Amino acid sequence: MAFTTENRSQATAHTDEEIDLQAIASRIKNGQITRVVVLTGAGISTAAGIPDFRSPNTGLYDKLAPLNLPYPEAIFHISYFSHTPEPFYAIAQARHPGNLKPTISHAFIALLAKKNVLHFAFTQNIDGLEQDMGVPVDKIIWAHGNWKSQHCWKCKAEYPEDSMKKAIREGEVPYCQQPECGGAVKPNVVFFGQSLPLEFDEKQKLVPEADLMLVMGTSLKVAPCSQLPRLVKEGTPRVLINIERSGDIGSRKEDVCVLGSCDDGVRKFADKLGWRDELEALWSSVVETKKDDREFEGVPSLDECIAKAARQMDERLKISNGHKRMLESHLGNKLAQIKAKPTMQP
Ligand code: OAD
């Protein structure tokens, strides 16, 4: 990223990336940057205890190997869910946001709003932690939906909240209560093969209005959110805070890649903005008061849920193989009987 010598001379940090971040912070402080668009993904919630999807070994998709799915993303594909919803519900209790607390990265988005510089935030996460942290609901879109309501995937009938919580807690599939439907109930999260909320198209028009884009905790592998950073006008800085590089961020001269954990990155950014104490105080005020959801107390870990689901699927496979063998032997006996008896011939 190229900034003026004047900007660079204000910097106290040493690496190029820190100098660039300092220059951006100065432009926010002196009012040159007033419209920050944020895009987040699973990496801002890993510190809250939800594994991301694609990190090798620790990500959900690697962990799902024992389930022998046709491909890992199938667990979130509407066509797979429509006939095999069991794997989704087997892990739902371990990924349900009931007991989670926001991270300091969520708090940073809330602080941008408090400072009146949050133009808009897009999140791919379905945990709703931004709202818990106080990000105003008119400043954010949950592009992949959330757990706050649910309906039958087939007839679209709403399903009661308490029955849904019970199903998730027990790892059972909730089925539609409408007469003669029997479809599986699905939280209102967007699965592969489904459309994003209607307002997404409208809200993405806000991206070219940004004078800074902040991308945090996403591999930028899933469209259409992965395309949002490209909508930022040339010449406008884009900051990536992520463990690894993602998308095309780094390809423009104004881009800044702050590699490392999101929480470390936002603390670094807050230091440069002079907002660090306020950020920590805002975060603590929410984390300390957020009550645990007793409905989800003591739920098994994700690994335990997956191991249990793998055993159940194995059992089911043995049963269906057993059924197949029984039918084959029954058929074999019948054929033998038919052959043994003289049959009437025309
Ligand atoms: P991914 O798992 O694809 O990417 C998470 C990114 O965050 C990776 O680049 C990690 O290196 C990084 N990361 C993980 N923990 C981090 C941390 N503490 N600090 C900084 N970086 C960290 O998750 P998403 O990009 O959110 O959709 O995935 C997008 C969509 O794919 C999800 O919404 C989900 C998934 O399949 C559906 O299920 C429809």
The CATH number of residue 187's host domain is 3.40.50.1220
Q: Is the CB of 307 under 6 A from ligand 1?
A: no
What's the pLDDT score for residue 12?
46
Asked if residue 339 is part of any domain, the answer here is no
In this structure, the strands spanning 140-142 and 212-216 are: unpaired
The residue whose C-alpha atom lies closest to atom 31 belonging to ligand 1 is 222
Q: How far apart are the first and last CA of the chain?
A: 92
What's the pLDDT score for residue 98?
73
As given in the structure block, the two tokens for residue 270 are 């807050």
DSSP H or E stretch at residue 185: strand 185-189
| Catalytic member of 144, 151, 323, 330 | 144
Asked if residue 236 is part of any domain, the answer here is yes
Q: Compute the distance between CA of residue 107 and CA of residue 269 in angstroms, rounded to an integer.
A: 13
Q: Which atom of ligand 1 is nearest to the CA of 220?
A: 25
Asked if residue 335 is part of any domain, the answer here is no
Asked if residue 245 is part of any domain, the answer here is yes
Question: In sequence order, which residues have a C-beta less than 8 Å from that of residue 116 and are 6 or more positions away?
Answer: 34
Asked if residue 305 is part of any domain, the answer here is no
Asked if residue 93 is part of any domain, the answer here is yes
What's the pLDDT score for residue 9?
42
Domain count, the chain: 1
Asked if residue 345 is part of any domain, the answer here is no
Asked if residue 319 is part of any domain, the answer here is no
84 is in an annotated binding site: no
Looking at residue 238, what DSSP letter applies?
E
What's the pLDDT score for residue 8?
42
Residue 70 φ/ψ, nearest 5 degrees: -55, -35
Question: Is 330 tagged catalytic?
Answer: no
SS3 226: helix
Q: Is the CB of 268 under 6 A from ligand 1?
A: no
Q: Which domain holds residue 90?
A: 3-300
Q: Is the CB of 192 under 6 A from ligand 1?
A: yes
Average pLDDT across each block of 10 residues of the chain; the chain has 346 residues. List them in order. 43 70 97 98 95 96 94 95 94 82 97 98 96 97 93 95 91 92 95 95 98 98 98 97 97 96 98 98 92 68 90 73 64 67 46
Q: Is the CB of 271 under 6 A from ligand 1?
A: no
